[in-house]
Amino acid sequence: GAVVSQHPSWVICKSGTSVKIECRSLDFQATTMFWYRQFPKQSLMLMATSNEGSKATYEQGVEKDKFLINHASLTLSTLTVTSAHPEDSSFYICSAMWGSTEAFFGQGTRLTVV
């Protein structure tokens, strides 16, 4: 079946630095990918919708200048957390739809900002 690969699985970075997370669709073309954030013991909250070749659509309350999303190809979307701070520490996970009934998720990235 279709697979979405996310990298890295975990990352620790210093406060003030930027971190890039990649999300790849391995055997299908994903014109749209979704980025979620999950705090410990909480649900997945949609951050933004990433559209190939156009600007991402951000959910209310999500800073577009802090969470830069680039979807330059049909198989790759990236999320860059800029000037990361400890409160950005979270689990980030991407998703792509396959048809209308299947949603594939990446493995997720645990970001810790120290």
Q: How far is CA 31 from CA 24, 59, 82, in A?
A: 11, 18, 24
**Residue pair 74/29 in contact by the 8 Å Cβ criterion:** yes
In angstroms, give the least distance from the CB of 15 to another protein. 23
Instruction: Give phi and psi for 65, each to the nearest 5.
Output: -80, -20
Of 23, 93, 111, 113, the one binding another protein (CB under 8 A) is: 93
Q: Which of 5, 22, 49, 68 binds another protein (CB under 8 A)?
A: 49
Nearer to another protein, 11 or 16 (CB): 11
Residue 89 touching another protein (CB under 8 A)? no
* Structural tokens at position 85: 């701070």
Shortest reach from residue 103's CB to another protein, in Å: 6
DSSP secondary structure of 84-95: --GGG-EEEEEE
Considering the complex, what minimum distance in angstroms separates the CB of residue 113 from another protein? 18
Q: If we measure between CA atoms, which residue out of 10, 1, 6 comes closest to residue 34?
A: 6
The binding site for another protein (CB under 8 A) comprises 31-32, 34, 38, 42-46, 49, 91, 93, 95, 97, 100-105, 107-108, 110
